[in-house]
Structure 1
Amino acid sequence: MDTFAARGYNNASLAEIAERAGLTQAGVLHYFRSKSLLLTSVLELRDDTDIEQLGTERPQGLRFLHHLVETARRNAEREGIVRLYAVLSAESVTDDHPAQDYFRSRYAGLRGFVADAVTETCRLGDGEADAERALIAANAIIAVMDGLQIQWLLDPAAVDMVASTELVIDAVLTRLTS
């Protein structure tokens, strides 16, 4: 995680990863057949760690939106994970990046979860216009959270990810219910 976070996928070397893990390059490749499989495994480990925090069930509605605020709180305590996510998600927009499918899928799933939570919280209908409003709200919330992470990585003392995330979610919910 640390090597990918610090150097990005293309600049991270298997030699450095192996050295940090106390293995040889052959040892790393024994467990992960390729650098891209190692990257995918690191990203899945990040997700599995976050999912464990949820317990047995994903919260719904307003509880899920509160979970996003709590995620911002946890992220403020784990710079390495936040850096890994920020670097690799940005890199993944390049041609043939091995994490591109992962991030496309992750964003699609997250957009769906947030849109569902917004729909339930604001008691939106199931029509096309309300579904579009919920999706726009989900995109905005996710974009703010990702942008806050980048700002926080650059200047932690200047950015309160928790307060900012909470403010934006409250503003979006207020807008959709007024």
Structure 2
Amino acid sequence: MAAEVYGDVGYHAASLREIAKRAGISHVGLLHHFPNREALLAAVLERRDEQDNARMAPQVFSAEAAVRHLLDLAAYNARHARVVELYVRLSAEAIGEDHPAHDYFKEHYATTRAYVQRALEELVARGALRQGIDPRTAAVGFVALMDGLQVHWLAGPDEVDMGLILRQFVEQLLKDPLE
């Protein structure tokens, strides 16, 4: 329920009373489990990451598995607008250093860029990436594209195919197309 409220109105406008009401518990009951707004927000973000990783993260890392994981995540997101809306809204709000999710998103982006960069470095080592592609720069571009596509998709879901666009971006980096 908290994720829905955050997705609807953002973190700053969200009320613990409204979250408790939607969850069917008392305000005091909610505070028993989450002593403040920041603790609840942290739990929502951690749960989102756990769900994404449990659903799609590869058990053994490989460049192909990492790329597939991210493309699958884009396809999943295209079927779950509420999840995307929550993420987009909170990531935008968290730009300010005083936002309670600022450090979460800073770490989230660093981890995601490192994950993509690792996959691209593996592809470079195997000679599968086009000449002149810098894995670090391409990783930043991939993550920025993925997030930007989510904003465009929310504005016009019928006009933006996130999975297709990300796949085409990845294929521009590779010597051979994805299988």
- TM surpasses 0.5: yes
2:4 aligns with 2
* Superposition deviation, residue 60 in structure 1: 1.7
C-alpha root-mean-square deviation of aligned residues, in Å? 2.0
Distance 2:108 2:83 in 1: 16
Higher mean C-alpha deviation, range 19-28 or range 46-55? 46-55
Relative to structure 1, is the Cα distance of residues 75 and 56 closer, same or farther in structure 2, using a 3 angstrom cutoff?
closer
Deviation digits for residues 93-149 of structure 1 (CA, Å, limit 9, x no counterpart): 113100011111111111111000001012279xxxx9x921111000000000010
Relative to structure 1, is the Cα distance of residues 136 and 56 closer, same or farther in structure 2, using a 3 angstrom cutoff?
closer
2:94 to 92, 95, 106: 92
2:163 aligns with 162
CA contact (8 A) 1:122 1:173 kept: no
Distance 2:57 2:150 in 1: 24
CA contact (8 A) 2:58 2:69 kept: no
Does residue 27 in structure 1 map to residue 26 in structure 2?
A: no
Identity of aligned residues (%): 38
2:147 aligns with 146
Q: How many equivalent residue pairs?
A: 170
Alignment TM-score, normalising by the size of structure 1: 0.89
Alignment TM-score, normalising by the size of structure 2: 0.89
Higher mean C-alpha deviation, range 61-70 or range 51-60? 51-60
2:85 to 83, 86, 97: 83
Higher mean C-alpha deviation, range 29-38 or range 46-55? 46-55
2:116 aligns with 114
Distance 1:86 1:30 in 2: 29
2:17 aligns with 15
2:61 aligns with 59
Describe the SS at the equivalent of 2:134: helix
Distance 2:155 2:164 in 1: 18
Distance 1:172 1:85 in 2: 27
More helix by share: 1
2:135 aligns with 134
Describe the SS at the equivalent of 1:158: coil
Describe the SS at the equivalent of 1:74: helix
**What 5-or-longer segments of structure 2 have no aligned partner?**
none
CA contact (8 A) 2:58 2:65 kept: no
Higher mean C-alpha deviation, range 48-57 or range 133-142? 48-57
* Superposition deviation, residue 170 in structure 1: 1.1
**What 5-or-longer segments of structure 1 have no aligned partner?**
none
Letter in 2 for 1:143: A
